[in-house]
């Protein structure tokens, strides 16, 4: 079914499909509850898709964000889960835009050829989620470099990453004028670091997420990205990319569940007619389709603005909001359309239902997206 695709990027879509078709529902189901899809990530890397956003001069694909979003969409639309590798695409911007030339030379060629994975992004802490500026993890200058103490939570893929981008306070909250000051960003090799402990967190979908403890962990002085104290701004810069890419994943999720639901509703007969002939089954699917199509337009508009270097925060936020709501509506309607079989693991509907639900809460919850729109787009007072 040709569902809400625009005809651009046909070759790219076909190339991604060629790789992802090797990983069917049985593969993804077999990974649950928490196995990392090593084979899938290796295949994606070999095909050059994981290093797509690395500029060509560092050995990468030099792709636009629009193209990167198409790659993630196609993975989701195939029934796969790009969460195993999406962070590499959206956190790389911090390194690309604010890293030193020396840091780029050191890391980007390895990320491009797959010998280095940049998959761990340590921002959230047990007492600081939406309110990032409340992070307490400290980085202090010592003769050997930076000494890190503190705890991160929900650091996804930390057990499967070579590198981490970490946000830590270099000046305590109480000592800064602006609460976003005094936070610094670091990139470092997280393998075999004394004092670093990583524990998996079991979750309702396979996300390989963890909690990370820093107990007098020393990282090199040149791990600092850009200027000390400016890390919060560097990370914020990357948020638009993250939102657009997550929106694309949701569009892919929505395509997958809708295609499955339509096939099922056309094929199964109840009370002497196809299931889908009932408006109670058909209309929620139609509604979700309309929502997905609308979200998809905003997603491409946001991505085009991003690629043109234009301001796109409003569009990126709206794309993430609309797409995550639409994919959830689609998953919910697909579950209903499948009746009891929607709950059977082998249909992959309940898995996608769980996977796509995450994106209303993380990487940023939709309430904060609405707060952004209210305050910065509509000009309403700050609501928090």
Ligand X SMILES: Cc1cc2nc3c(=O)[nH]c(=O)nc-3n(C[C@H](O)[C@H](O)[C@H](O)COP(=O)(O)OP(=O)(O)OC[C@H]3O[C@@H](n4cnc5c(N)ncnc54)[C@H](O)[C@@H]3O)c2cc1C
Closer Cβ to ligand X, 43 or 371, answer by number: 371
φ and ψ of 351, to 5 deg: -65, -50
Closer Cβ to ligand X, 236 or 270, answer by number: 236
The answer to whether 137 contacts ligand X (rule: CB under 6 A) is no
The answer to whether 108 contacts ligand X (rule: CB under 6 A) is no
Piece of 36-44, 51-59, 326-334, 367-375 that binds ligand X (CB under 6 A): 367-375
Closer Cβ to ligand X, 271 or 384, answer by number: 384
Name 163's bridge partners. Answer: 118, 189
Nearest by Cα to 154 from 126, 132, 134, 179: 126
Subset of 184-213 contacting ligand X (CB under 6 A): 203, 207, 209
The answer to whether 36 touches 30, Cβ cutoff 8 Å, is: no
Q: How many angstroms separate the CA atoms of 51 and 60, rounded?
A: 5
In the bound complex, what is the minimum distance in angstroms from residue 327's beta carbon to ligand X? 16
Pairing relation of β-strands 138-142 and 224-225? unpaired
The answer to whether 319 touches 244, Cβ cutoff 8 Å, is: yes
Q: How many angstroms separate the CA atoms of 380 and 156, rounded?
A: 34
Q: How many angstroms separate the CA atoms of 366 and 355, rounded?
A: 16
DSSP symbol at 384: -
Piece of 154-162, 186-194, 218-226, 255-263 that binds ligand X (CB under 6 A): 154-162
Instruction: Looking at the chain, list the stretches that DSSP marks H as alpha helix, in order from N- to C-terminal side.
Output: 10-20, 25-31, 38-46, 65-77, 86-98, 101-113, 231-267, 279-307, 313-337, 349-357, 366-372
In the bound complex, what is the minimum distance in angstroms from residue 358's beta carbon to ligand X? 5
The answer to whether 234 contacts ligand X (rule: CB under 6 A) is no
The answer to whether 133 contacts ligand X (rule: CB under 6 A) is no
Piece of 149-157, 168-176, 303-311, 348-356 that binds ligand X (CB under 6 A): 149-157
x/- mask, ligand X, residues 334-363, rule CB under 6 A, reads ------------------------x--xxx
Pairing relation of β-strands 118-122 and 163-169? parallel
Give the interface size with ligand X as a residue count (CB under 6 A). Answer: 22
Piece of 153-161, 213-221, 248-256, 310-318 that binds ligand X (CB under 6 A): 153-161
Closer Cβ to ligand X, 123 or 313, answer by number: 123
Subset of 309-328 contacting ligand X (CB under 6 A): none
The answer to whether 154 contacts ligand X (rule: CB under 6 A) is yes
Sign, CA dihedral 155-184-92-353, equals positive
State which residue has the least CB distance to ligand X: 129
The answer to whether 156 contacts ligand X (rule: CB under 6 A) is yes
Nearest by Cα to 212 from 146, 135, 145: 135
Piece of 95-103, 115-123, 279-287, 311-319 that binds ligand X (CB under 6 A): 115-123
The answer to whether 123 contacts ligand X (rule: CB under 6 A) is yes
Which listed residue (80, 110, 129, 342) binds ligand X by CB under 6 A?
129
The answer to whether 64 contacts ligand X (rule: CB under 6 A) is no
Q: How many angstroms separate the CA atoms of 189 and 161, rounded?
A: 9
CA 261 to chain CA centroid, nearest Å: 25
φ and ψ of 382, to 5 deg: -60, 130
In the bound complex, what is the minimum distance in angstroms from residue 384's beta carbon to ligand X? 3
In the bound complex, what is the minimum distance in angstroms from residue 120's beta carbon to ligand X? 7
Closer Cβ to ligand X, 3 or 370, answer by number: 370
Which token pair is 194?
């004394």
Contacts with ligand X, residue ranges (CB under 6 A):
121-124, 129-130, 154-156, 203, 207, 209, 358, 361-365, 367-368, 371, 384
């Amino acid at each position: 079914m040709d569902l809400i695709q625009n005809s651009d990027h046909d070759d790219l879509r076909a190339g991604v499909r060629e790789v992802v078709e090797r990983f069917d529902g049985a593969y993804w189901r077999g990974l649950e509850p928490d196995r990392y899809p090593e084979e899938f990530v290796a295949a994606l890397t070999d095909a050059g898709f994981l290093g797509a956003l690395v500029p060509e001069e560092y050995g990468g694909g030099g792709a636009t964000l629009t193209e990167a979003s198409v790659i993630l969409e196609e993975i989701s639309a195939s029934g796969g889960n790009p969460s195993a590798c999406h962070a590499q695409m959206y956190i790389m911007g911090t390194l690309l835009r604010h890293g030193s030339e020396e840091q780029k030379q050191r890391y980007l060629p390895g990320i491009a050829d797959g010998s280095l994975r940049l998959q761990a992004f340590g921002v959230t802490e047990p007492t600081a989620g939406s309110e990032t500026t409340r992070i307490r993890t400290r980085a202090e200058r010592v003769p050997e470099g930076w000494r890190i103490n503190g705890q991160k939570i929900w650091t996804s893929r930390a057990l499967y990453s070579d590198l981490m981008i970490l946000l830590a306070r270099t000046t305590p909250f109480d000592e800064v004028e602006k609460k976003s000051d005094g936070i610094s960003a670091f990139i470092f090799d997280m393998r075999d670091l004394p004092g670093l402990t990583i524990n998996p967190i079991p979750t309702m979908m396979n996300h390989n997420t963890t909690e990370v403890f820093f107990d007098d962990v020393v990282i090199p002085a040149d791990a600092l990205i850009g200027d000390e104290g400016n890390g919060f701004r560097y990370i914020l810069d990357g948020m638009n990319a993250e939102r657009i890419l997550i929106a694309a994943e949701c569009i892919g999720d929505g395509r997958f569940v809708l295609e499955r639901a339509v096939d099922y509703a056309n094929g199964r007969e109840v009370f002497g007619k196809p299931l889908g002939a009932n408006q109670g089954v058909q209309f929620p699917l139609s509604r979700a389709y309309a929502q997905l199509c609308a979200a998809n337009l905003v997603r491409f508009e946001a991505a085009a603005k991003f690629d043109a270097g234009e301001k796109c925060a409003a569009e990126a936020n709206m794309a993430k909001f609309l797409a995550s709501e639409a994919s959830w509506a689609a998953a919910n309607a697909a579950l209903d359309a499948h009746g009891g079989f929607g709950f059977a693991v082998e249909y992959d509907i309940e898995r996608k239902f769980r996977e796509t639900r995450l994106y209303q809460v993380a990487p940023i919850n939709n309430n904060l997206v609405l707060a952004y729109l209210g305050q910065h787009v509509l000009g309403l007072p700050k609501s928090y």
